């Protein structure tokens, strides 16, 4: 059961994920979380470095869709200036939003990765739906109210994976 929470890959930040590496693996699309994956949960806009990352993905033909459990105003305010499609109030780990994102990109599961900073929502949801999952170290050390509760459970799962040698995880610096 716990293996459903195990990501296929872990990286320190979204910037370690390159279009060349994705293309080499046949990936044409990214379903990504927003808060603490792309930017801090309380940062309203993309950083210049993140804007460049999105631009590189687009130039390489890799579609990106933001799938967030946050509300419409938060996700829309972030995604609209970047002209990125998004799904808000996604209810991750439920699979419906992942399927909607996949359909809107016109891709297959095998051509798409799910990226996020939480085991209980992003990784579990992506794994349950049959996607390749990439866990990133949270951008911020602080979290919103509901995420704080999830992090307590996550730490227990992470420690179990570490003890078993199944994951090599570093907290954000």
For 4-49, what is each residue's pLDDT tens digit? 999 999 999 999 999 999 999 999 999 999 999 999 988 889 999 9
Examine the pLDDT at 85 and tell me if it is beyond 90.
yes
For residue 135, the tally of other CB atoms under 10 A from its CB is 26
For residues 152 and 114, the model is more confident at 114
User: Encoding tokens for residue 47?
Assistant: 């950083």
Measured at the alpha carbon of residue 58, what is the angle toward residues 54 and 59, in degrees to the nearest 5? 115
Examine the pLDDT at 162 and tell me if it is beyond 80.
yes
Q: What is the pLDDT of residue 172?
A: 44
Q: Calculate what percentage of the chain has a pLDDT beyond 90.
A: 74
143: confidence class by pLDDT, cuts 50, 70, 90: low
Q: What is the pLDDT of residue 53?
A: 98
Q: Can you give the pTM of this predicted structure?
A: 0.88
What's the half-sphere exposure (Cβ side, CA atoms, 13 Å) at 30? 28
Cis peptide before 138 (omega within 30 of 0): no
Strands 9-11 vs 86-87: parallel, antiparallel or unpaired:
unpaired
Q: Hey, what domains does the chain have and what are their CATH numbers?
A: 2-163 (3.40.50.1000)
Q: What is the pLDDT of residue 151?
A: 75
Q: What is the pLDDT of residue 173?
A: 37
Q: Calculate what percentage of the chain has a pLDDT beyond 70.
A: 93
DSSP string, the chain: -GGGG--SEEESSGGG--HHHHHHTT--EEEE--BTTTB-TT--S--HHHHHHHHHHHHTT-EEEEE-SS-HHHHHHHHGGGT--EE-S--TTSSHHHHHHHHHHT--GGGEEEEES-IIIIIHHHHHTT-EEEEE--SSS---HHHHHHHHHHHHHHHHHHHTT--------
The rounded distance, in Å, linking the Cα atoms of 157 and 37 is: 19
What's the mean pLDDT in 63-88?
Answer: 97
What's the mean pLDDT in 99-127?
Answer: 96
Task: Decide: 170 and 13 in contact? Cβ < 8 Å.
Answer: no
Examine the pLDDT at 98 and tell me if it is beyond 50.
yes
């Amino acid at each position: 059961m716990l293996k459903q929470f195990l990501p296929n890959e872990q990286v320190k930040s979204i910037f370690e994920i390159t279009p060349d590496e994705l293309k080499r693996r046949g990936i044409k699309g990214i379903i990504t979380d927003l808060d603490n994956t792309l930017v801090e949960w309380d940062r309203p806009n993309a950083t210049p470095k993140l804007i460049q990352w999105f631009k590189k993905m687009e130039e390489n033909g890799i579609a990106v869709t933001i799938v967030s459990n946050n509300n419409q105003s938060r996700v829309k305010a972030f995604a609209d200036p970047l002209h990125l499609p998004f799904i808000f109030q996604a209810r991750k780990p439920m699979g419906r939003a992942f399927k909607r994102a996949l359909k809107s990109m016109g891709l297959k599961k095998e051509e798409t990765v799910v990226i996020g900073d939480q085991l209980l929502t992003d990784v579990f949801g992506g794994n349950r739906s049959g996607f390749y999952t990439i866990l990133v170290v949270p951008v911020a050390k602080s979290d919103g109210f509901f995420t704080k509760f999830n992090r307590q459970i996550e730490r227990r799962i992470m420690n179990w994976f570490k003890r078993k040698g199944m994951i090599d995880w570093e907290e954000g610096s």
